[in-house]
Amino acid sequence: MRTPLAAVGLVALGVLLMANPLFLPVSVGEPNPAYTHTVQPVGEGSVAGIESPATGAANGSDAENDTNASDAVVAYADLAPDARAAFDRARDAPEGGFGVEDPDERVDSLSYPTEPTLGDGLLIVERDGERYEFWTRTVEREPGAVVAQRVFLQPVAFLVGFLAVVAGAAVGLRGRLAGE
């Protein structure tokens, strides 16, 4: 009588542990935002769809889109002084950008959306005859405890659950094979 009960208990425990993505991760805190500033030259693979002045206008677009693309270009001198400083800092950074975590360190004249679009988080800045994509965005990072749950706790719980199901099946089969 104990063997079938043990087998059912192990299988039930295993299924519960294997289903852990349904109830984990438990939110343990607010996302930790970071505010990024990135500058890269506008090129052929440009996300903004605008090429440098040397190669012409927008990538594979018609005349109407060319006009809209040229309207989206901002002269470096037209940027606010704090935006120019952020642009220069991002352009001169070895990684092509920098981030800040304190909301007070953001540049007031720039927007920081989570999904940048042309004109809102993405500016095409022309400086010294060169065009650059100037990205500003908010990146929401998860708290460390949630990351630990996803990287360590969930895989371990799934593995233990799988082993519990295998052990439950083995206990159940052992009892049948032994003739209990």
pLDDT at position 61 over 60: no
Report whether pLDDT(176) > 50: yes
Q: Is the pTM of this model over 0.85?
A: no
* Of 29 and 100, more confident: 100
Average of pLDDT values for 66-73?
57
pLDDT bracket for residue 178 (50, 70, 90): low
| Average pLDDT value for residue range 116-123 | 86
- CB contact at 8 A, 44 and 51: yes
Q: Residue 102: CA atoms inside 13 Å, Cβ hemisphere, count?
A: 2
The answer to whether the CB of 31 falls within 8 A of the CB of 144 is no
Rounded to whole angstroms, what are the CA distances from 134 to 91, 94, 122, 147?
Answer: 9, 15, 6, 30
- Pairing mode, strands 130-141 and 117-118: unpaired
Give the least confident one: 10-14, 94-98, 130-134.
Answer: 94-98
> What's the mean pLDDT in 41-55?
56
